[in-house]
Amino acid sequence: MGRSVILVLSGLLQRFSLRVRANTCKVLVTTSGCSNTRAVGETAPAKFGQSIERGQGLFWSRRSGKPILVSTIQPRQDRQRHSRKYAEGELGEDKSFYFRGPDGALNLRAQNLALFLQIAEGIDDRTWLHHLRAGDYSQWLRDKIKDAELAEEVARIEGDEALTPLESRRRIKEAIESRYTSPA
């Protein structure tokens, strides 16, 4: 069995880079509140004696047996989860947004964010406001697109009844484009 390494990270698990020689170590990632050392069959080292701050980790090599405080490396750019798929790809019927309107007379399918923005620009104000006031846009972004941060921003727009249909469309478009289109 190869040597194993335990890396204990403080706070929320984040992306990090750990440089080790290829095929010499197995890596087990856990948070500071967990005790997953059963996975490598050894007892964790005694208390480290220092607090582990956000952006730091505790590196424990089974060979040395000593825990070492390390800093995690921040990613060079923010990760955008499947951004191309959601922006331009073909989402299934179950994940698409349907503009139906207050009377259910429409059935306009937006199978990605680009089509959503295009249809949103062309539909009548009554249909736009029907979905806006029902919170349908933020619910779709949260539940189907799986972007809670964008959904929260859109929910704030949906809740602002002082906005005109034109202004709410513009703000939602800006929120989506800021996350799902790359800079020119």
> How is the chain split into domains, by residue range?
3-71, 83-180
Instruction: State the pTM of this model.
Output: 0.56
3-class secondary-structure state, position 92: coil
The tens digit of pLDDT for each residue in 35-62 reads 444 445 566 666 666 677 777 776 766 6
Tokens of 110: 């937006």
Tell me phi and psi for residue 180, to 5 degrees: -120, 10
Average pLDDT, the chain: 75
Report the alpha-carbon angle 110-113-119, nearest 5. 50
Amino acid making up residue 65: G
Q: Is the pLDDT of residue 8 over 70?
A: no
Q: Is the pLDDT of residue 180 over 70?
A: yes
**Residue 70 pLDDT class (50, 70, 90 cuts):** confident
Bigger pLDDT: 3 or 163? 163
